[in-house]
Amino acid sequence: MLGRIEVPSDLRIGSYEISVRAENGFLTYRRVDSSAGEERRYVLSRGIELRAVPMYPIFYPRFITQFILCVLEHEIVVAPGASIRVSLEIPVDVAIYAYSGNSFKIIDVLALHKDAKYVLYGTTYGGTVARFCVARLTKSVNDVEFGYAYMPLTIKNCMGRVARVSKVLLDASPLRLYYREGSKWYVATQSITMNIVTDTSAIVYYEKPVDPRALPIDDPESLRPPRVYNRTDMLQGY
């Protein structure tokens, strides 16, 4: 399901039916969303390769922010100086990429979670808008459900007091999604470490991928600013 889309092929991803055909010297891409009755068609020249890859849940209904606020299904309490590692699953969508060599364009985003909502992280004068999602606990990468990505999160309490964590702010720019070519559904992020620094601030670090054999997705253009710091500062609560 994930990876290269053969020609001709008929796929089903969630509520979407995709058919790719070769016709009179060009390719046709047709996608029907059975839940909404929407249809999208593309005509592609020869030499274009289509790939279905996981995508950050920030492009549906439209791209407003690159931040994702993951509210933990169960709050986590960490003892002073201690650390805890939990396995979470966060919602992701699927994007259809059109490749020609190293160059690519995203031609379609298949929203797997249509109940998208946004939240304000922080105050109305200094905060940021983020895509809201609920991060659920899971056991391992193999237990992750369709439409979700596995995210191992290590929380380190660097304070001398007990800390209570209810949310993690992720930035889709340093965050990376990895998938296994040809797998039915294998999607994971890097290992994420959250250092709790004070009562109101924490730093989120994006570390190594969970599975070094998995392929990273090519980030969309809007998420490719210079990555000076591979971290996200949560200055307005966690």
Stretches 50-58, 120-128, 145-153, 213-221: which one binds another protein (CB under 8 A)?
120-128
44 has which bridge partners?
A: 27
Of the candidate residues 22, 36, 64, 82, the single one contacting another protein (CB under 8 A): 64
Of the candidate residues 99, 104, 118, 205, the single one contacting another protein (CB under 8 A): 118
5 vs 52: CA distance, rounded Å: 7
Contacts of 154 (CB under 8 A, 6+ apart): 83, 84, 85, 191, 192, 193, 194
Full DSSP string of 25-69: TEEEEEEEETTTTEEEEEEEETT-EEEEEEE-TTSSS----SEEE
Of the candidate residues 124, 184, 208, 212, the single one contacting another protein (CB under 8 A): 124
Binding mask 42-61 for another protein (x = CB under 8 A): -------------------x
First to last CA, the chain: 36
Peptide bond into 174 cis (omega under 30): no
Span 131-150, contacts to another protein by CB under 8 A: 132
Interface with another protein, residue 36, by CB under 8 A = no
Provide the 10 A C-beta neighbour count for residue 225. Answer: 9
Minimum distance, C-beta of residue 178 to another protein, in the bound complex (Å): 28
Of the candidate residues 22, 120, 137, 162, the single one contacting another protein (CB under 8 A): 120
Minimum distance, C-beta of residue 213 to another protein, in the bound complex (Å): 36
**Which residue's CB is nearer to another protein, number 117 or number 184?**
117
Pick from 153, 176, 24: nearest CA to 89 = 153
Interface with another protein, residue 87, by CB under 8 A = no
Burial group, residue 203, by CB count within 10 angstroms (0-12, 13-18, 19+): middle
**Which residue's CB is nearer to another protein, number 3 or number 122?**
122
Stretches 14-22, 124-132, 148-156, 211-219: which one binds another protein (CB under 8 A)?
124-132
**Which residue's CB is nearer to another protein, number 52 or number 172?**
172
Minimum distance, C-beta of residue 8 to another protein, in the bound complex (Å): 35
Burial group, residue 238, by CB count within 10 angstroms (0-12, 13-18, 19+): buried
Buried b (16+ CB within 10 A) or exposed e, 186-196: bbbbbbbbbbb
**Which residue's CB is nearer to another protein, number 19 or number 65?**
65
3-class SS of residue 237: coil
**Which residue's CB is nearer to another protein, number 120 or number 137?**
120
Interface with another protein, residue 129, by CB under 8 A = yes
Interface with another protein (CB under 8 A): 61, 64-65, 115-120, 124-125, 127-129, 132
